[in-house]
Amino acid sequence: MLIISTVAGALRIYVRSRLLKTFGWDDWAMVLAQFFFLLCTIFLFLVNTWGTSTYNGIQAVDYDTFSWMARWGYGMYILTVIAIKVSLSLFMFRIFGPHHIRERVLIHILTIVPAAIGLTALVLVNATCAVTFAPVCAWRRTFNYTSLSFSFANSLADIAFASLSFLILWRMTMTRAAKISASVLFLIGSFGGLASVLRVAAYFQPGSDVLQQIRYSTWSMIEAGTCITAVCLFTLRPLFRHCTCFGSRMGTGWSSQAKLYPYRASTILNKGHVAELQTHGLTDKAGSRASEVKEPEVVVLVAERMDSRFSRASRMEVYTLESGLGTRDMGTREV
């Protein structure tokens, strides 16, 4: 999972910094999540490798060292999950504007609640005897309840974020193939929530403390890596479009790639993706009769080059202007 998530994260950095040139705070949060996940993987690898190794029938690593590695691994996992939630929430805030009050309140709740519980668990891990093999620890039950609460809150947040993603997909104007590909990415992201549920189930499985820690850490690593990969893949659509358009230009050239799309007065495109076009109909202020000739609303035909990038408005070209008085060729220009 570390290799897959690292590749997905590197592609996200390339898309946001080179193609779109819109490297934002959500991208920085994802870079931080990838760093925490790297440390988490290292510590959990040490736990899984040394935790079960023996030398002449004697445990190779003492319980104190094992507990130290487990505490740091679990702490890095908590920070990874919090950074992922922050990155995803910042990305959602860029989609749901100030007028989407309910969605923004829900995003705040889905981010703040797991983060608060996770930070509480992080304090209990490092400041108490909860994650140790001490025979008696007054904080162990408190930590167990906090850890389970964090797991349940994280699972519910993953499911809710996946539902918001499907809501975004439903509202977007995309081709069927694009919606199918995006749905696959959302399905991959939902596996993170499933891994979180399985991590909770692993906590209740019988076995020694060492085996329980190993199962718990394994599912934690799978969950974090899957979430990072899914969130990064969701931002790579401009890269797929760029590669597809590059192949089309190599095969058919520039001229055959332009298609005309009519946009009426009610059509407003997202500023951050292509351009904002707003055409206005011509009205008769003198109150003319129905028998008199009225000028219909204006229809602007817009051609989008196939190599256009979502944040580059200069790729839009206006070709013709149609009205009831005839069709006028306005040529080609970049907006």
Position 161 scores a pLDDT of 83
Position 182 scores a pLDDT of 67
- Per-residue pLDDT for 243 more than 80? no
Residue 334 included in any domain: no
Total-model pTM: 0.67
**Cα dist from 313 to 93, 267, 333, whole Å:** 22, 16, 12
In which band, very low, low, confident or very high, does the pLDDT at 115 lie, cut at 50, 70 and 90? very high
Same domain as 307, residue 220? no
**Which has the higher per-residue pLDDT, 307 or 22?**
22
Same domain as 47, residue 182? yes
Range of the domain at 53: 2-235
In which band, very low, low, confident or very high, does the pLDDT at 29 lie, cut at 50, 70 and 90? very high
Residue 247 included in any domain: no
Same domain as 284, residue 172? no
Same domain as 268, residue 213? no
Same domain as 258, residue 227? no
pLDDT digits 0-9 by tens, 226-238: 888 878 877 777 7
- Which range has the worst mean pLDDT, 141-150, 274-283, 322-331? 274-283
Same domain as 270, residue 130? no
Position 310 scores a pLDDT of 41
Residue 335 included in any domain: no
Position 268 scores a pLDDT of 37
Same domain as 222, residue 262? no
Position 86 scores a pLDDT of 93
Burial class (CB in 10 A: 0-12, 13-18, 19+), 139: middle
CA gap 215, 36 in Å, rounded: 20
Residue 292 included in any domain: yes
Beta-carbon contacts of residue 324 (< 8 Å; ≥ 6 apart): 293, 294, 295, 296
Residue 124 included in any domain: yes
| pLDDT mean over 4-31 | 88
- Per-residue pLDDT for 47 more than 60? yes
Residue 304 included in any domain: yes
Same domain as 170, residue 53? yes
**Which has the higher per-residue pLDDT, 10 or 163?**
10
